Amino acid sequence: MYFYKLIPTMTILNSLTEIPPNWQSIRLLTVNVGNISFACRGPYNHKLCQKRVEENISNNIRALQPDVIFLQELLHPSQCDGWTELDRRKVGFDKNNQSVSNQARRLLGSSYTIYCASRMRPEIGHPIGMECIGVHTNAGIIEGCQPGGLFYSSEGLDSPNPECNPEFIIMATMAKVRNITIKLINAHPHSRERRCRDNSLEQLFEKVKEAQNVKTNTIIAGDFNFDPFHSVEKTPDIWKKNVGVFGSGKPFYYHSGIAEHVPPYPTASILVQKKTIDHVISNFAAGICSTLGEAPNTHRIDGGKGMDHRAIICDMWIPPP
C-alpha cells in the first residue's frame, strides 16, 4: 500500500488558514517518467521502458487517485515498431500481443480521459516520445473529448525553432474540473539548449497573456528543465517576469518548490547534481504540493528506482466561479 501524507504547512504562498466550505478540492500529479539510464537507450530514447517500473507507477497512481495528471517523457506506441525486443522485462517485449498499446492508458487505467501530444523528428519518421494530460472521469472532462477516451493532438502550445530539437513540447487543453473551467498546460521545454527553452517559454506566456483578456483559470505543471531556486542566473527572464510567490503581484505563483519547503526539495537527479526543475504554478488556486520521495512521509512513485525525476502531488482548492 502506498503511504502518502499531505504536509499541512501553509506558507506565505497560501494566505488561507481555513479553506472556505464552498471551495472545490483538486488533487493534481505531475511526473516525468523518463530515465537517462543505459537500460532505456536505443529505440526507447530514454522513455519509460521497464515493465516493473511501469507497474509500480500505475499502482501508485491508483493509490494516490489524482483528479488531474500531467505526464512527461512517455513512450510513443510507434517507438516499438520495426524492431524486436528480446528482453521480457522491457515494455516493448511481445508488443503485438499487448492488450493496451498506449503507455498512458497502461499507467492511468480506464478511469481517465487522456489527451496526448507528440512531435516527429523528420529524420526518424515517427515520434520518439509523447506528453499527456489525464482527467479522472469522476472529477471532470476534457473539452471536446469523450469521457474515458484517449485522444491525440499534433499541435503544441509552442512552435519549435527549426534548429531546435522538436521532441520537447508544451501542450495544453481546456478541461472542466468540479464544474470549473481550467486551462491545463503540460510544459516540457528544451533541456540542453537555453535559447530553445527560452523561446518556448516566451510563446507559452504570450499565449497565456492573450487568453487573459477573458480571465482564464490556468494551471501549468511539468518538467521545465531549469532551477529558479539554485540557478537564478539561468532562469529565463520571461519566467522571472511571470512567476513568483503568492502576494508578489506576478501573474502566476508557486504551489511547489519554495511553497512546499525552504530550501526546495530536489525533483531530479542528473548525474551527480540534484535540481528542482519540476514545477506547479497557477493563477487562481490555493494549496501546496509535496515532492514524493523527498518530503517526509512520502515515497517515490516508481517504487524506489526507475526514474530520474520525483513526482509532485498537490492538494489544491479552487475558488467558486
Q: Give the pLDDT confidence of 188-222 residue by residue, as tens digits.
A: 999 889 999 999 999 999 988 887 666 789 999 99
Of the candidates 115, 100, 6, 92, the residue with the CA atom closest to the CA atom of residue 58: 100
Ramachandran sector of residue 297 (left: φ over 0; alpha: ψ -120 to 50; beta: rest) = left
Residue 8 has a pLDDT of: 37
Q: Is the pLDDT of residue 20 over 90?
A: no
Q: What is the mean pLDDT of residues 285-307?
A: 94
Residues 6+ apart with CB under 8 A from 246: 12, 13, 14, 15, 253, 254, 259
Nearest Cα to 67, choosing from 302, 275, 314, 309?
A: 314
Report pLDDT digits (tens) over 258-268: 999 999 999 99
- Lookup: cell for 16: 488561507
Under 8 Å between Cβ of 290 and 232: no
Candidate from 151-155, 186-190, 237-241 with smallest mean pLDDT: 151-155
Q: What is the pLDDT of residues 161-171, one digit of tens each?
A: 888 888 899 99
Beta bridge partners of 244: 253
Q: In this structure, how many other beta carbons lie within 10 angstroms of the beta carbon of residue 317?
A: 16
Q: Is the pLDDT of residue 238 over 80?
A: yes
Q: What residues contact 266, with CB distance under 8 A and at least 6 apart?
A: 274, 275, 276, 291, 294, 310
Q: Mean of the pLDDT values across residues 285-291?
A: 95
Q: Mind listing the pLDDT tens digit for each residue in 106-138?
A: 999 999 999 999 987 777 777 889 999 999 999
Range from 55-59, 155-159, 174-178 carrying the lowest mean pLDDT: 155-159
Domains of the chain: 25-318 (3.60.10.10)
Which pLDDT score, from 0 to 100, does residue 212 have?
A: 67
State percent of the chain over pLDDT 90. Answer: 64
**Cell 471551495, residue located:** 23
Taking the mean position of all CA atoms in its chain, how far away is CA 255?
14
Ramachandran assignment for 74, one of left (phi > 0), alpha (psi -120 to 50 degrees), beta (any other): beta
The residues near 147 (Cβ < 8 Å, ≥ 6 apart) are 113, 137, 141
Residue 18: the pLDDT is: 65
User: Does the pLDDT at position 31 exceed 60?
Assistant: yes
Q: Taking the model in full, what pTM does it have?
A: 0.92
